[in-house]
Structures are given as C-alpha cells and as structure tokens.
Amino acid sequence: MSQLQLNPIRQLSASVINKIAAGEVIERPASVVKELLENSVDAGATRIELTIEQGGTELIRVTDNGSGIPQEQLPLAVTSHATSKIVDADDLFQVATMGFRGEALASIAEVSQTTIRSRTASQDCGFEMLINGGHREPVQPCGCPQGTTIEVRQLFYNTPVRQKFMKTAQTERGHIVEAFTRVALAHPEIQMTCVNGSKTTYKLPAAEAWSDRIEAFFGTEISSNLIALDNAHGEIRIRGFVVDPAVSRANNRMQYLFLNGRYIRDRSLQHALSEAYRGLLMTGRYPACFLTLEIPFELVDVNVHPAKLEVRFQNGGQIYSQLLSTVRHRFLSTDLTAHAQLSKKPDEPFRPFPKGVLGDALVSPDSSIHGNQETIAFNNTAPAFDWTQTPRQPQLAAGVGSSESTGSVGGFSMEGHDDLGNPSPYPSPYPNPIGTGVAPSQTPTALQVHNTYLVSETPEGMIVIDQHALHERVIYEQIRGKVVDGKLESQRLLVPEPVSLPPAEAAAVLEQTELLEQLGISISPFGGGTVLVSSYPAMLNKQNPAEMLRSVVDQIVEDGKTLDQRDLVDELLHMISCKAAVKAGDRLSAEEITALLEHRELCQDAHHCPHGRPTSLVFSRDELDRRFKRI
C-alpha cells in the first residue's frame, strides 16, 4: 500500500489557470506574434506592422489600422474566455475568424508586460491599458490613430522555466519571421511590414498577385517555377501553386497549405502531395507548394489544436483525392522537362493550359478534370483575390525594401577564383590530386562498365568498384585531413551570392556560421530569410553556391539537433564529398580511372564509402574457378 498522501483538492486561481493556458498557446515569442497578427487580421486591418527586438524576447509590437477595441472592452480583451468572435457553441462550427477561443491576449498578458492602445472610429481619442504579469492597471486616455497597438515586453519574465527553453535571439527571430510569413502569405491583400530592431526586413505592399508575395519571401527560384492550379469540386476548391519538381526540398517545410485563410499542417494532405509527385522526385526530397483550400466552415473543425495549426476535416478522404488528382492532372498537362514545347500540338487532349515556360499559364478553373465542377461562392472576408495569377514582371512590386530583395545581386559569375586568385574552372573530377609516391606502373588498369563500375584484375582475383562510392571515400579522407589542419581550400566569390531560405532555416544555418567557416563556407545574414554566401569549398566549384548552401542547410536542419558539432562537421564532409565525387553514369578517361585506383591504395578505409556502403566487391580466383566449375 502506498503511503503517499495527496494534498486536498483546491480550485486554482485565475492567474494560475492563465499561466497554464499560456503554456499551451504561448510556447515562444513566435506564438505571440502569430496571435497578435491574427487578431489584427480579424479586426479587418488593411495595414499591419510588426516590430521585434532581440528575437521578440525584449519587445514584440503589432500595430494595425483595424476596428479598434472600445474603451469599456479593453479589460475584457485580456480576460480569458472572453471573445467577440463567437457567442455560443454552435458558432464553433461556423468560425470565419482566426481567433475565437478568447485566451490569447489573457495568456500573453499573464506572462509579460503588455500595453494595449486602441481607438475605434467612433471615439475621438484612444485608450491605453497596461497589464503587468496579469495585473491590470486602470484604463487611461491616450493619443493614437484608429486601430490597435499591442506591445509585449519581457516575455516570460515571470515564468523562468519557459524562459530557459527559449533559444538564441537568432533562432526565435527565425520562428517569428516564419509566423509572419504564414500570415502574410494567407493574406496577400493586407499591407504588411516587419521591423527587426532598427532594420525593416519586409515591407510588403498589398499584393496584386499571390505570386508576388511568394516571390518577396522565397525569391525567383521559387516564383519562376510555380505551376498554377485551380480546381473546384462540389463545395471544395483548391487553388494556388505547386512548385516544379526540379525545385525540391529535403523536408516538407516549404509546403504552405492554407485553409480558409488559415495556415495549417495536415499529414494527410502532405501525403497526397507526395503521392502526386511520386516518380518525379528522388527519395528523401519533398515538393514545395502554396495552396489554399476553400471549404465550407461547417465541414471543418478548427478547434482541435491550441494554436489551431491542425484541423479536422469532415470529408478528409474527398479532399485527399481531390488534391492528388488536381496536382497529377496538372502535371500531365505541364511540360515538366521544358523540352516538349517543340512538339506542342494545339488540339491535344488533357492540356487545358498553355504549355511552355512553367508558370506562364493563366489558369481558369480546371474544367477538364471534373465534369461536375462548379465554382462555389466562398465566404471569405478577403476581397476577391486572384490566387493563381502568375508572377508579374519586373519581379518585386515597388515599395518592397531592398534589404530583402531575394533575386540575384549584381551579375554574379559562376567562374570563381581560388585562393591564389587564379581562375579555377573545374578541370577534372579530382579536385586535389595527392602528390603520391605510387608509381603508375604499380597501379592496375581497369575497365569501366555502364559508366558506373570499374572492373580490374587483382593478384587474388577480380574486383568490381563503384566509381562514385570510391571517389567519395577518397575525397572524404582528403578533406577531412585538410579540415583538421585548417587547410581546406576555399573559393571566394567575386560577388557574394544571396540565397533565400525559409526564415527558420536561415536562422539555423546562421547559428552554425563558425562551424561552416572551418569547412571553407563563409556566410553572413542579409536580412529576412536571405543569407549571403561569400566563399565555399573550392572542390565544389562545379556547383552553384545557392545549391551548395541549401544542401548544407538541409543537413543542419536534419542533424543539427541530434548531433554534436564534431559529428555535424563529419556529416557535412560526407555531403561535400558526395557532391564533389564523380557520379554513376559519368564517363571516365583512362587517366581518371588510373588516378582513382591509385588513390584507392592510399585510403585508410577503401572498402566503404563515407555512408558505409561498400566501394567494391571482390571475387577471388578460387570463387571464380568454383563458379565456372573448374574445381
């Protein structure tokens, strides 16, 4: 029998209840940003400005030109379970607003020093209320324009445990920018600004085309590869863009799905998307997309997740197959290789859209997919907006700050220079020939088969070598040694290359700036999600620096949390070796084959590639004889 004696049951105070609720809704500064931005959207704002300091830990301020909060309701706004958005439980199934639980402001005010300033159209002055760790001060008149400003300072100052869980300002900033991105993508009709410290990182005018806003965040690499789609089936409409399979990601974070104006994550829809891309992407690669789902409110339960990130569909199966078939059919009608343009025939079936350069198709609802297609009237608060209009030229709308311009800066030339200032076009697959003492005569010759394997005679029998696996091993051992000695050659770019990344990924990679420096990769922040690459390993000069950085980012995002620094360096070395090595399918010259075999003899572990796969198979003379029944 347990001797444990529980304390008597007590009703918790409102303050403790709010702190518990805060733990659910307000996980980190980015959660505050999300809630405040959504409140501004709900208030009908056409202009929203976000300011943060120190990754939101010092200050988060959101100013909007929305409806404002009447003086007498200011205290209610920060009372939990007080909302203007629903009245009874039935309304829960008709939610047209972002918020409705009435707990965000109460939670935020409980764990910070919050100031609310607000003025409605009918008031001739504004009113202000301070809430310090949940303690409300009396409401005071103040001067302010119509709309609301909510200022949150010293987040989590009274909940030290929460504070401990916060990451560096850089990381928190990344999450905040991601939250900003999601709201800005969901509401392209709203003018939105993001100020980080003293720097304006995004200044987004109300967008005319969704693709403009997508481009403002992700650059032309994405915006010039958008494939528009629009499909209505019954009451459900799917619109927006998928991204050409040529542009993929190592994770599914660039899958932006919006349900009735709300950013959501949904495993089943992510799965539908991968199914649609099946065969078009390598394993481990994920598609990118920007899709809006318009579904009658009563067919979705948005009240299943504290931050409303996940939802429950009444007819999930139908939505799954609609998404899958829409994307598949769109691919069927799209020239994914950019070659078929030549064979364009005007009256081909299943080509409802003009082919050609992806994204130049002006898409009408896809009537060829579903015979029973009808366009539904959708009760969205946003004005009519063309979600599938394709990019305008020139790229960025006027007024977009230059600091985050995500296109190319200057005329960057891929022709780089090595440390000595010599041009270094990639001459052979052997970036760093080792001056070896191995005489060529000692090296056996080999025969290349299928441009993939090398077959050679050995004293014991015969060996079949996987050219890529072996070369990868050779390079890995070379560069590992150089990194240890601090002698890895890096290549400085004439003009640093800006690379736009999802904000969280940009933050993650910037956190590893020093580690990357050891590998000859120099990066620096450039505002927004843009990172500047100013040098990178010379042996990768065949590669585009942006591509190289993306591979690095993928690795860091994948392994950065689980591996210590040394192992992460090792993983990155594997990645670099793999990229620099000859590929299966590369035809090798006789000299290249000889060089590779020479290097094989110098390898510490010539039998395995850095991933642990074998580099060669050995057939002994005995075994050959046995197989041929000679013995």
Q: Which is nearer to Mg ion, 39 or 395 (CB)?
A: 39
Q: Which residue in the set 99, 431, 503, 610 belongs to the binding site for ligand ADP (CB under 6 A)?
A: 99
Q: Which is nearer to ligand ADP, 297 or 426 (CB)?
A: 297
Q: Minimum CB separation from Mg ion for residue 123, in Å?
A: 22
E strands along 18-146, which residues?
47-53, 59-64, 113-119, 126-132, 135-136, 140-142
Helix (H, G, I), strand (E, B) or coil at 549: helix
Q: Which is nearer to Mg ion, 49 or 472 (CB)?
A: 49
Helix axes 467-485, 590-602, angle to 10 degrees: 60
Question: Which of ligand ADP, Mg ion, none does 85 bind, CB closer than 5 to 8 A by kind?
Answer: ligand ADP
Q: Which residue in the set 29, 66, 68, 99 belongs to the binding site for Mg ion (CB under 5 A)?
A: 99
Residue closest to 334 by CA, chosen among 363, 302, 308: 363
- In the shown chain, the binding pattern of residues 152 to 191 toward ligand ADP, with x for contact by CB under 6 A and - for none, equals ----------------------------------------
Q: With contacts defined by CB under 6 A, name the span among 26-34, 50-58, 64-72, 273-281 that binds ligand ADP.
A: 64-72
By CB under 6 A, is residue 136 in contact with ligand ADP? no
- Judged by CB under 6 A, the chain residues 309 through 368 that form the site for ligand ADP are none
CA 397/CA 214 separation, integer angstroms: 12
Q: Which residue in the set 100, 286, 320, 353 belongs to the binding site for ligand ADP (CB under 6 A)?
A: 100
By CB under 6 A, is residue 101 in contact with ligand ADP? yes
CA 248/CA 289 separation, integer angstroms: 10
Q: What distance lies between CA 501 and its chain's CA centroid?
A: 7
Q: Which residue in the set 77, 104, 179, 206 belongs to the binding site for Mg ion (CB under 5 A)?
A: 104
Question: Which of ligand ADP, Mg ion, none does 110 bind, CB closer than 5 to 8 A by kind?
Answer: none
By CB under 6 A, is residue 597 in contact with ligand ADP? no
Q: Minimum CB separation from Mg ion for residue 529, in Å?
A: 26
Tell whether the torsion through CA atoms of 422, 428, 433 and 438 is positive or negative.
negative
Q: Which is nearer to Mg ion, 69 or 300 (CB)?
A: 69
Cβ pair 473, 615 in contact under 8 A: yes
Q: Which residue in the set 30, 33, 37, 64 belongs to the binding site for ligand ADP (CB under 6 A)?
A: 64
- Residue where the block lists tokens 């000679």: 630
- Beta strands across the sheet bearing 461-466: 446-449, 453-457, 461-466, 616-620
CA 111/CA 103 separation, integer angstroms: 13
- Burial of 66-79, coded b for 16+ CB within 10 Å and e otherwise, reads bbbbbbebbeebbb
Question: Which of Mg ion, ligand ADP, none does 181 bind, CB closer than 5 to 8 A by kind?
Answer: none
Number of chain residues interacting with ligand ADP (CB under 6 A): 22
Question: Which of ligand ADP, Mg ion, none does 114 bind, CB closer than 5 to 8 A by kind?
Answer: none
E strands along 28-80, which residues?
47-53, 59-64
Q: With contacts defined by CB under 6 A, name the span among 10-18, 35-43, 366-374, 534-542 that binds ligand ADP.
A: 35-43
Question: Which of Mg ion, ligand ADP, none does 476 bind, CB closer than 5 to 8 A by kind?
Answer: none
Residue closest to 419 by CA, chosen among 534, 532, 538: 538
Q: Which is nearer to Mg ion, 42 or 592 (CB)?
A: 42
By CB under 6 A, is residue 32 in contact with ligand ADP? no
Q: Which is nearer to ligand ADP, 85 or 392 (CB)?
A: 85
By CB under 6 A, is residue 18 in contact with ligand ADP? no
β-pair partners for 128:
117, 140
503 token code pair: 């904000």
- Judged by CB under 6 A, the chain residues 418 through 457 that form the site for ligand ADP are none
Report CA-CA distances (Å) from 108 to 111, 151, 180, 311.
Answer: 6, 10, 18, 23
CA 218/CA 184 separation, integer angstroms: 13
- Give alpha helix (H) positions in 187-266: 210-223
Q: Which residue in the set 148, 191, 201, 424 belongs to the binding site for ligand ADP (CB under 6 A)?
A: 148
- Residue where the block lists tokens 């609310």: 116
Q: With contacts defined by CB under 6 A, name the span among 26-34, 67-75, 340-348, 554-562 that binds ligand ADP.
A: 67-75
Strands 199-204, 191-196: pairing is antiparallel
By CB under 6 A, is residue 39 in contact with ligand ADP? yes
Q: With contacts defined by CB under 6 A, name the span among 97-105, 307-315, 557-565, 575-583 that binds ligand ADP.
A: 97-105
Q: With contacts defined by CB under 6 A, name the span among 77-85, 267-275, 571-579, 604-612 that binds ligand ADP.
A: 77-85
- DSSP-assigned letter for residue 305: S
- Judged by CB under 6 A, the chain residues 225 through 244 that form the site for ligand ADP are none
Q: Which is nearer to ligand ADP, 124 or 347 (CB)?
A: 124
Q: Which is nearer to ligand ADP, 35 or 571 (CB)?
A: 35
CA 221/CA 218 separation, integer angstroms: 7
Residue closest to 249 by CA, chosen among 212, 279, 213, 222: 222
By CB under 6 A, is residue 104 in contact with ligand ADP? yes
By CB under 5 A, is residue 39 in contact with Mg ion? yes
Q: Which residue in the set 21, 50, 59, 77 belongs to the binding site for ligand ADP (CB under 6 A)?
A: 77
Helix (H, G, I), strand (E, B) or coil at 586: coil
339 token code pair: 């070659």
Question: Alpha-carbon Rg of the chain, whole angstroms?
Answer: 29
Question: Which of ligand ADP, Mg ion, none does 102 bind, CB closer than 5 to 8 A by kind?
Answer: ligand ADP
Helix%, strand%, coil% for the chain, nearest 5: 35, 20, 45
Q: Which is nearer to Mg ion, 39 or 171 (CB)?
A: 39
Peptide bond into 394 cis (omega under 30): yes
Query: What is the DSSP code string of 485-550?
Result: HT---EEEEEEEEEEE--HHHHHHHHTTHHHHHHTT-EEEE-STTEEEEEEEEGGGTTS-HHHHHH
Return the amino acid letter for 55.
G
By CB under 6 A, is residue 407 in contact with ligand ADP? no
Return the amino acid letter for 524.
S
Question: Which of Mg ion, ligand ADP, none does 64 bind, CB closer than 5 to 8 A by kind?
Answer: ligand ADP
CA 207/CA 385 separation, integer angstroms: 9
Q: Which is nearer to ligand ADP, 95 or 259 (CB)?
A: 95
By CB under 6 A, is residue 211 in contact with ligand ADP? no
By CB under 6 A, is residue 69 in contact with ligand ADP? yes
User: Kindly report the CA angle at 492 between 490 and 497, in degrees rounded to 5?
Assistant: 120
The residue ranges that bind Mg ion (CB under 5 A) are: 39, 99, 104
Which residues are near ligand ADP by CB under 6 A?
A: 35, 39-40, 43, 64, 66-69, 77, 83-85, 99-106, 148
